[in-house]
Amino acid sequence: MTGAMTAVTALTGEQAVQAHPLTGNVCQVRLASGATVVAKRGTGMVGAEAASLRWLAAADVIGVPAVLGQDANWLILQRIESGRATTEAAEEFGRRLAALHASGAPAFGQPPPDGPRDAWIGMAAMVNVPAPSWPEWYAEYRIRPYLRRSAGTFSAADVAVIDTVASKIQELAGPEEPPARLHGDLWNGNVVWGDDGHAWLIDPAAHGGHRETDLAMLTLFGCPHLNRVLAAYREVAPLADGWAARIPLHQLFPLLVHTELFGGGYAAQAVAAARAALSG
């Protein structure tokens, strides 16, 4: 607590007067002015998240917390007050997410400007390496590394199924799309339904990728009024034919990440996603 207050005072120039924990490495800190900020400690992770937030904010189409200060160990952010997930907010979220994706990226795998090559998704390492084509990049940097790191969790037959997805990625990937500006870790917990009536995005692992990946993540872990979100998204930016059948392909990456971090049931879900991707 003391460390968070010291960091907030040093990095914002405003006196911190009280702190209490939100999660293991995140504190809410009250300033002498009465305002509240969020302080996140994450040695080695701060630069990637700060660059991600700035890149998403630069699109100027969807709310993300402002970066108020950072150093090698601490990231100080605007506090977003929670509200209610209404159907109106969900539809606006779908439209704004489409606009975020459409703001684009220079290449698949491209990190945010000033963002590191070696980044993070949650507590798992993630490499951002630019590539000209999404299918090969997804197989090389989003399927195979996590399969290797979690190989002991899978049977040999299960490894073969997931590796087959990587090998057949060209025929499974669907029509070519330009690189989208992705949040990169868009599960429901990283969508804050603000008390201002808008959806805000937190904790990004931003990079240039395929827009269906963000949508598949929302589908994987659920989202309030998900059908309204997707319908509004598609009104603004129609999805290519077969997008729903490709959801398991895009879910394979976060499921492999969760297998690396948590093991167990996520391995079975990853194999099921791989089989569904192959069956189309």
Residues with active-site annotation: 185
Residues with Cβ within 8 Å of 44's Cβ and at least 6 positions away in sequence, in order, are none
Contacts with 156 (C-beta within 8 Å, 6 or more apart), sequence order: none
SS3 content of the chain, % helix, strand, coil (to 5): 50, 20, 35
φ/ψ bin of 20: left (φ > 0), alpha (ψ from -120 to 50), beta (otherwise): beta
Which helix or strand (DSSP H or E) is residue 273 part of?
Answer: helix 265-279
At 124, the amino acid letter reads: A
Write down how long the chain is: 280
Quote the CA–CA distance of 47 and 193 in Å, as a whole number. 25
- d(CA 271, CA 73) in angstroms, rounded, equals 37
Report whether 195 contacts 83 (CB < 8 A).
Answer: yes
Tokens matching residue 25:
């490495």
**Cα(224)–Cα(274) distance, integer angstroms:** 26
